[in-house]
Chain A
Amino acid sequence: GNSVTQMEGPVTLSEEAFLTINCTYTATGYPSLFWYVQYPGEGLQLLLKATKADDKGSNKGFEATYRKETTSFHLEKGSVQVSDSAVYFCALPVYSGAGSYQLTFGKGTKLSVIP
């Protein structure tokens, strides 16, 4: 079935450093791919998505490109800020029948950005 594997954390970076969080997927067909973010004490929220191969999702300075050749969807940001400290989850949908899908998530990567 569909699944994602993302790099384990935690990741600690200095402010303005470059961020990459790796995510690879196993899927039937070419499902949409997602990055969700969980800020401390909050629920997850959608950060960005890509719906087909070679699509680039972007939001808040974060980017991820859907690469079917390498089955990857790595999250990148050129210059992180302290406010980016959070847990990041890669996700893709799993079909459960009757038109219903649920998201399956990676284990999450905790990012801490220090001033």
Chain B
Amino acid sequence: DSGVTQTPKHLITATGQRVTLRCSPRSGDLSVYWYQQSLDQGLQFLIQYYNGEERAKGNILERFSAQQFPDLHSELNLSSLELGDSALYFCASSVGRAGEKLFFGSGTQLSVL
């Protein structure tokens, strides 16, 4: 058990809808990272937060947004969903801003039908 909790584990929705994925980092970790894993693109970095502030953006679409709350949990919001957004979304956490040793959650499997 990595100590990172992601909910829900599975999400099935329709095109055009909006969903929210939730992540609770390991106790004491200040950084949260979101990654998208798909068969064709592999594991893609989306966004990083450190202690409530956005630190880095990767290949995140404008339809996607995230935030980190004062209790350090994070949410990833995906809107106007398309079939191609179907993927496994991982949250990871680390103690500091240098995200080398990451602790990953088990992921949220999103299926857009």
A108–B90 Cα distance when bound, in Å, is 15
Please choose the segment from B11-19, B66-74, B78-86, B101-109 that sits at the chain A interface, where 4 or more of its residues have CB less than 8 A away.
B101-109
Range for the number of chain B residues in contact with chain A:
20 to 34
A46 interfacial by beta-carbon distance below 8 Å: yes
Name the distance in Å between B23's Cβ and chain A's nearest Cβ: 11
Question: A interface, by DSSP: helix, strand, loop or mixed?
Answer: strand
Cα A106 to Cα B42 in complex, Å, equals: 8
What 0/1 readout, one digit per residue, does chain B (88-101) give for beta carbons within 8 Å of chain A? 00101000011111
Measured between C-beta atoms, what is the minimum distance from A91 to chain B in Å?
A: 9
Mark interface residues in A28-39 (1 if CB within 8 Å of B CB, else 0): 000010101000
Of the listed stretches A17-25, A54-62, A77-85, A95-103, name the one at the interface; the rest are far from the partner chain.
A95-103
- The interface of chain B, by Cβ under 8 A from chain A, is 2, 4, 31, 33, 42-43, 45, 48, 50, 55-56, 58, 90, 92, 97-107
A96-B56, A99-B97 known; 12 new pairs, CB 8 Å cut-off, are A34-B100, A43-B4, A44-B92, A45-B2, A46-B101, A98-B55, A98-B97, A100-B48, A102-B45, A103-B45, A105-B43, A108-B43
